[in-house]
A and B are shown apart, each in its own frame.
Chain A
């Protein structure tokens, strides 16, 4: 860098800087205003994702400890599918809640299934053992993650006994919330679907 160029760094002496600052300021304010408008339209317009349960996409996944799991293995029971990874801090945060809730409903027609994404089987098994997640865990493939819309982790899905997805929860889930969701799903008679209010 030359001395002349360095002198250009003295911003307040640069002849075109004030004009540039004003133009940029206007552009940034315009951008912020546009984003605000988008947020307002989305908020007031209520972009909807539906709200009624939809049938869980068909899947077949390989279990970490051998064997495979499909929709048929969950049929007739309320199913909790939790998508996680060992490197994900929020997954660690929710692990005790998942363990306690799984233990609480062990004698009920409720099945838990962990689906691991972007992780090695060894790391995932070590994590599951460390946190006492003794239910089955499968390795998630792209088709499963795409079909279930599980692009972020952790994601938790609650399926009713008919295989309908009642709840899609993003982020770590608490024991009280998961318990309430499972109890609500259990209270629904088999063969009857209806939207579940996800009380937060």
Chain B
């Protein structure tokens, strides 16, 4: 009984999840206009993708980290116990592929772009809502890079906020590069950045120092992605992303 009572208490992880969903829902219209898809198609992708990400990512995490927990439904549906982001992202890709089955390349690129932007929005949302999860801790570092956080003895870098800043800045640059770079290409580059962030999440579990490494890797990948985007923008991208340029 106490397990049930404990479960129904509002947790930061659930609040964070619903805030991310709200951000995805709110940005759905803009994403649809950006990639040239009907709003409903993006809405379907958002709903199905979010469900697939959480369900498959959660099962993937439990299968690798605590397989015996798969037998306990209460443990399975507890968000705070971990989601494997790469497995979740693969599930989103599968949903996108299923949603565009039998359609042409233009439609597939549009959905791929929407999924990539959605992934980036969700990543930024998840990072920013570290505040409600009380999970903004990163590597230990002196001021001004680190600052004291409630409940901890040493100043820490707010790594999730730094990474959200980097992703937003990268998104601004990728969108700004100009008309020569198609939205689909820019979206895929942004999605790659977000995926890099997600892929590095397990690395942060290797130790507090690895959280700093995660940020460094994200910065390097971000610079490479933006550099690549600039090169692609200069050459034109019709041959690269399959959409007519």
Contact = CB atoms under 8 A, between A and B. Distances in A.
Contacts of B205: 88-90, 93
Interface residues of A, number: 63
Nearest to A90: B205
B43 interface: no
Interface in B26-50: 30, 33-38, 41
Contacts of A152: 134-135, 137
B34 A17 contact: yes
Given A17-B183, A152-B137, A87 B66 contact: yes
A1 B38 contact: yes
A193 to B, nearest CB: 14
Contact of B69 (A28, A42, A87): A87
Contacts of B113: 11
Given A90-B205, A151-B12, A5 B38 contact: yes
A196 interface: yes
Contacts of A12: 179, 182-183, 243-245
A75 interface: no
B140 to A, nearest CB: 4
Contacts of A13: 244
A108 interface: no
B34 A20 contact: yes
B152 interface: yes
A45 to B, nearest CB: 8
A144 to B, nearest CB: 12
B4 to A, nearest CB: 13
Given A39-B165, A89-B205, A93-B207, A21 B69 contact: no
A122 B245 CA distance: 60
Interface stretch (A64-72, A98-106, A129-137, A168-176): A168-176
A123 B153 contact: no
Contacts of A1: 37-38, 41, 103, 107
A11 B6 contact: no
Interface string A138-166: 00011000000101100000000000001
A167 B109 CA distance: 52
A191 interface: no
Contacts of A25: 171-173, 175-176
B37 A8 contact: yes
B244 A10 contact: yes
Contact of B149 (A7, A47, A141): A47
A151 to B, nearest CB: 4
Interface of B: 2, 6, 9, 12, 30, 33-38, 41, 62, 65-66, 68-69, 72, 75, 78, 80-82, 103-104, 106-107, 109-110, 113, 128, 133-135, 137, 140, 143-154, 156, 158, 161-162, 164-166, 168-169, 171-173, 175-176, 179, 182-184, 202, 205-208, 243-245
22 contacts: A6-B103, A9-B37, A9-B243, A14-B33, A17-B33, A21-B179, A24-B30, A25-B175, A29-B172, A42-B158, A49-B149, A49-B151, A51-B148, A85-B81, A87-B82, A93-B207, A123-B69, A149-B134, A151-B135, A169-B153, A170-B137, A200-B140
